[in-house]
Structure 1
């Protein structure tokens, strides 16, 4: 297996740093999948062993790298799967904000490593400094690749565009200090509600006038506890109750410059959050619903 890639533009280097920094806040370890046209960062639930990913990030290599070369296992299995410390990778990239170039390559030291060679301007002369980081990686065997495929999900009942992530994050940060679970409710009329319940009160924040990308209603509420709002047609409304901490962690991706974020709900079962950037990067988070 071989891999070598070079990045020379300041914008992509800054964006790549922000993406990796966000992922490092979500997990200590992740899987880096390298293919001929994409890089994938894949995060599984740390507490559940082998399981479908809870986070899936796709980065088109052509938008970020000026050079990109790789050779996989063989002609049939061309990808490379690496287990890597996302925190170590994020720390290594901190100097990219002022760097002239970044070279990534697979190397063999005492163990397999992802080696980063960063060219940084000197503050005292016209010369440049070269900083090298060797990050140990675990090469994932072919028989385990199926554990790191993009999740197959049911068709969402509704997909709605979120307000600015900063607004939503501020709301969720306050809510999670009062309750461990939050209910996300979306209506075909373009309304979104975030709600928590405690022994003392029910607290909700509502947004309206949002763009609805798709609605597959009507929604069957026959087996649901009453979640409806006054004067609202519940057949056009679906919801999902999720872990507030997991939702909050995704919202830290606000530092990635993006043009839209979508919220898709499979009624009561699954919340899918998708962030899209102008560079065609997609970051998806899958949060399983809590059902009593």
Structure 2
């Protein structure tokens, strides 16, 4: 197996560092899948057995790297799967914001490593400095590759564009201090409501006039605890109760320069959050609904 890639432009380097930084906040460990046209960052639930990914991030290599070479095990298995500690990779990329270039390659030292060579300008001299980081990785055997495929999710009942992630994060961070769970409620009329309940209070924050990408209604609320505003048709509203901490962690992606974020809800079962950038980076987070 061989891998080598070079990044020369400052803007893609900053964006790449921000993407990895966001992933390191979401999980201690991740899988880095290298293919001929994409880099994938994959995060699964932290448990003892195989679990579907909860985060799936696609980075198109052609828009980030000026050189990109990969050789898999053989012609049939062309990809490379690496287990990596997210924080180690993120810390190694901190200096990319001022770097001239980045070279990444797969090396064999005391253990397999993703070696990063970062060309930095010198403060006192005209010559540049070359900083090398060896980030240990685990090469994932082929028999485990099927555990890291993109999740197949049901068709959502509604997909709605989210407001500012920074504004949402401020709201949810306050809510999660009062309750570990939050209900996301979206209507076909473009309203999004975040709601928590405690023994002492019920707190709701509403956002209006949001773009609805798709609605598959009507929604059956015959056995639900649905609440709606006055004169609102509940058959055009769906909701899902999720872990407030997981939702908040996704919102830390606000440091990635994105053009839109879509929230898709499978009524009472699943919330899929998808952030998209102008460079065609797609970061998806899958949060399973909490059902009582």
* 2:142 aligned with 1:142: yes
Question: 2:220 maps to which residue?
Answer: 220
Question: 2:101 maps to which residue?
Answer: 101
Unaligned runs of 5+ in 2: none
Question: 1:248 maps to which residue?
Answer: 248
User: In structure 2, how many angstroms separate the alpha carbons of the residues matched to 1:13 and 1:222?
Assistant: 51
Question: 2:238 maps to which residue?
Answer: 238
How do 1:20-39 and structure 2 match up within 5 A?
20-39=20-39
User: In structure 2, how many angstroms separate the alpha carbons of the residues matched to 1:72 and 1:197?
Assistant: 51
Q: Give the C-alpha shift of residue 48 in structure 1.
A: 5.6
Question: 1:203 maps to which residue?
Answer: 203
Q: Give the C-alpha shift of residue 227 in structure 1.
A: 2.9
Deviations 1:139-177 (A, max 9, x none): 000000011000000000000000010111010000000
* Greater Cα shift, 215-224 or 226-235: 226-235
User: In structure 2, how many angstroms separate the alpha carbons of the residues matched to 1:277 and 1:208?
Assistant: 23
User: In structure 1, how many angstroms separate the alpha carbons of the residues matched to 2:166 and 2:225?
Assistant: 31
Q: Give the C-alpha shift of residue 224 in structure 1.
A: 1.2
Question: 1:5 maps to which residue?
Answer: 5
Q: Give the C-alpha shift of residue 49 in structure 1.
A: 3.1
* 2:165 aligned with 1:165: yes
Cα pair distance change 1:192/1:28, threshold 3 Å: same
- Which runs of structure 1 show a deviation greater than 6 angstroms over 4 or more consecutive aligned residues? none
- CA RMSD in angstroms, aligned pairs only: 0.7
Aligned length: 292
Question: 1:175 maps to which residue?
Answer: 175
* Greater Cα shift, 218-227 or 114-123: 218-227
Unaligned runs of 5+ in 1: none
Question: 1:270 maps to which residue?
Answer: 270
SS in 2 for 1:15: helix
User: In structure 1, how many angstroms separate the alpha carbons of the residues matched to 2:136 and 2:105?
Assistant: 12
Q: Give the C-alpha shift of residue 230 in structure 1.
A: 2.6
Q: What is the TM-score of this pair, normalised by structure 2?
A: 0.99
